[in-house]
Amino acid sequence: MKIALAQQNYHVGNFEANTRKIIDGIHQAKAAGADLVVFSELCVCGYPPRDFLEFEDFIAECYKAIDTIKQHADTIGVIVGGPARNPIREGKDLFNAAWLLYEKEVKGVAHKTCLPNYDVFDEYRYFEPAYEWNVIPFKGKKIALTICEDAWNLGDNPLYRICPMDQLIKQHPDLMINISASPFDYDHDEDRKEVVRQNVLKYGLPMYYCNAVGSQTEIIFDGGSVIYDASGNLVKEMKYFEEDFEVIEIPQPVPPLYEEVVPGFSIAVHHEQSANPVHSNTTASELFDKDMRVSRVTDPEQILSYLTREDNIAQIHSALVLGIRDYFTKMGFTKAILGSSGGIDSAVTLALACEALGKENVRAILLPSEFSTSHSVQDAEKLSQNLGNPYDIIPIREVYDALLHTLKPVFKDLPFGLAEENLQSRTRGNILMGLANKFGYVLLNTSNKSELSTGYGTLYGDMAGGLSVLGDVYKGQVYALARYINRNGEVIPVNILDKAPSAELRPNQKDSDSLPDYDVLDKVLYQYIERRQGPKEIIAMGIDEAVVKRILKLVNTSEYKRNQFCPIIRVSCKAFGVGRRVPIVGKYLA
């Protein structure tokens, strides 16, 4: 039997476009001679639909889409994801479901059992867990059909009480199919493949895993759908960060060259054609924490090299470009604007935006003040000349002086300080938003994660914007991104990479005047935010106690700023936004 995987980019609530895309995939599968075509989790409505699921009209549109798709499932089986109504009065009103359509009928429906309720996931808010598990017969084969998180309940400390495959395997299925909407983070793709492989080895069945691709506001889905044979060999790995389509016959298990069983460890399967052999010193429980999306990097001396390693940065680059492009396309926007300061953050943001949207659609505005150095303006000009994007120079001196003049009766002769610095930033924010409103641009925010973590930014000033490009990227990663952008030649001027970071809001200002050095700062932030380590654990890693306590206080007292911030493209396992929910008014470590 030939099975097609259709890795597609959907748009939440755009039923017409999603249905059309799915039908196109069905026709492509028919033309390729497939018996069955598989699409991703909640594909008919897009993932995550969130509170749209509370509208009966939205659910009715999902059912209408499935009815339309069903008419094209005549000579070919079609597996799609969509919500299903719960006929039982008790419990939530909906299931997260996978529908098998064939001969213009619904032949089977599988309900998701493991409903994630952590980080960016809140499925238990809307869905009822499955309470029965049945294989679905199709063309002489018995399919064990599961959905995303259903495959992740592995290891010695399972997150859920029931593992659906443990129930389905009792009915002797012939293969596993998992439809997924598994978000990207730079520590997740290898984990994901390992989860699929561990399922294959545990149940002795081949697995087709179809993941979504594309950006939904802040969440990136990177694709990377895979097919494994029953021996744990990777048969096919599909493209990342773009749509893809493959037809693969159900793979036959490949006999191992030899097997070795070590007590307490998994079976070692070695084959000369294996793309991803299992090693005897690897177990599922060692590979995954209870929250399997928590990075396992613990050595502070290795953190920066881990965060900035080339494969991570290449993935982050692709994710950010996709995130910008999809945000604009799906929102109906075409043009972006941003403040170009001659610094590293705005330079990387500008380069990414030009790649995502086209250089002609990104307008850079240079907004020098009396404290801006001449080389900063020159660097920003050189950057736009290298990229070929339009730019303007609008000095802020007159507007800033007018504000100072207006406020002088109240400010009196108090010394220059934070208020005057922030007025410059807010002057820039006003000018950028004025241009955005006048010409139909979306303002891209250029703040990085190190700054957002510590509150090093001005509300309604440099924190303004419709989309944050670098808000989940630490400062060290921003520099690594710049070097990656320059991998084939100088795009970002070398002087921008070499000079010390500065907001240039007062004479001779440097970021290090207000913050610890970024190499130390990023280490502490990563341990606290991504790994959820407390001060004692971080100090025990050899980092100065006073520095640790200062940084954590800055993080926790800045939550009110981040709560007012724009959506952030998520590339880590713990980004600011919907995936990190801490009190604004709290005393912990503050």
Angstrom distance (rounded) from CA 165 to CA 153: 10
Task: Report the amino acid identity of residue 202.
Answer: K
Q: Output the six-digit token pair for 265.
A: 């460890």
Q: How far is CA 121 from the centre of its chain?
A: 12
Q: Output the six-digit token pair for 340.
A: 């170009």
Residue 228: phi, psi to the nearest 5?
-120, 145
Comparing CA positions, the residue from 126, 157, 144, 138 lying closest to residue 49 is 126
Could you confirm whether 141 is annotated as catalytic?
no
DSSP assignment of 147-201: EGGGG---SSS-SSS--HHHHHGGG--SEEEEEE--B--TTTHHHHHHHHHHHHH
Selecting among 21, 41, 114, 123, the annotated active-site residue is 41
Angstrom distance (rounded) from CA 46 to CA 41: 8
Selecting among 70, 112, 382, 574, the annotated active-site residue is 112
If you search the block for the tokens 């922030």, which residue do you land on?
Answer: 422
Q: Output the six-digit token pair for 247.
A: 């037809």
Q: Are 502 and 343 in contact (CB under 8 A)?
A: yes
DSSP reduced 3-state for 320: helix
Could you confirm whether 163 is annotated as catalytic?
no
DSSP reduced 3-state for 469: coil
Q: Are 558 and 459 in contact (CB under 8 A)?
A: no
Q: What is the dihedral of CA 350, 354, 355, 361, to 10 degrees?
A: 150
Selecting among 45, 62, 148, 573, the annotated active-site residue is 148
Angstrom distance (rounded) from CA 408 to CA 163: 67
DSSP reduced 3-state for 221: strand
Could you confirm whether 354 is annotated as catalytic?
no
Catalytic residues: 41, 112, 148
